Structure 1
């Protein structure tokens, strides 16, 4: 489903949205402490949140959570909001894994905090709640961050302010979305981590896939992956055999990692040359400039 972009400059404004988010988070905390405000909701009246960023949930994780729920019950209530749907009148804002595990455990009801939220705050709370969870894989985090740009038109810095992350972290996560689709799938399934992904980002799609498959097959470390990428990108010309080439290769890799961007260095025998840093958006350019101009 494609949603109309919700530009904040023409509506609430970023400060107003952040204020609403903080207010709702505080009220949710108060509700959670006051058990009298919890409601037991039929699990069949709930539907998956439209703004849930998590795309892949390990079946083993669900089974383990279901076993825990069978023994201890649902320890933390889910957050839902009422919607205009007769069959499923509630939408999950936070807690889809608990809901799915509760159904696996055979529960017919689940404790929930019911909040009447508008779309903007619902999107923001759902994304923030999931982004801040440690077990959300980097690709799902990146997709969630991208939603802030798509829905609200936020810049990388504004997204960082909203979710409480460093701007460079946001930019690095968003760059993962330029990976080949099959490589992103590998990350979502936990076969590759952030370090591996950053190492292969500068490769072309076909090379990314080959390297990713090799990393998984041989259980390569991040350091080994970085070396493999250096070997693949090493110049094949006679000029590569000169004394300066290994140093340039190492420097190129260091700069690529520092800027999280594709970097090229052309160096001639006269000691002259050029440094080229590639970027895919104005936000990425802004991030590169911030690094260059930092004190």
Structure 2
């Protein structure tokens, strides 16, 4: 059935910004349900206090619920399968209803079976596998270790797989079209805190035909350069303080940063000079 055939009112049921992870056929099943008619899943032990949802509540107030929750019918109500945080945030934000997709238990079982079967297909690309794992997480609120157990894989394997979904859009498109390999993609991911370098690396891979090894060498050099720049910035900040301390104490002073803080090293020639330094700092 076409979207137009459903009537003008159908558009009011589906926010235009609905998350792209929803399948096209699912968009036509979105309906608004009263929040009061929805109950959480008692089998989901994790509960978050309202103050843990502050950011999500603020987002819901500004933009509404962008991705429908998944529910099943249960004892005259609707029980949440996936999306409890969104439901709680909408409730706290004062919303009366929420977009939802109602599924049957049989449909959920079949969908779960299909997704697991798809992940295990040999011809499925790593990105397609990552999307399938992500959908299992979203549709069934499954943790990675639970999915790993169903698939007979190590949780770390799935964790590394789903990280592909964190790629910049351009890199994800290149991976999907086969223009870069999974190895290239992982090299790009290693620069997740250096977005400009990610773009530069992708350009070199696509235009210069770089191998995975060349991409990894670029990553090492880029990180080394970033660490050096950070160290220089720290030195620039410390230098004036060092000079001020040396002027006050009349001796050489060194400030050294460590993983857990740092050290202030004060040099002295003998016990007499140490006593003078102690006096100056009020010891």
Normalised by the size of structure 1, how large is the TM-score? 0.42
The structure with the largest alpha-carbon Rg is 2
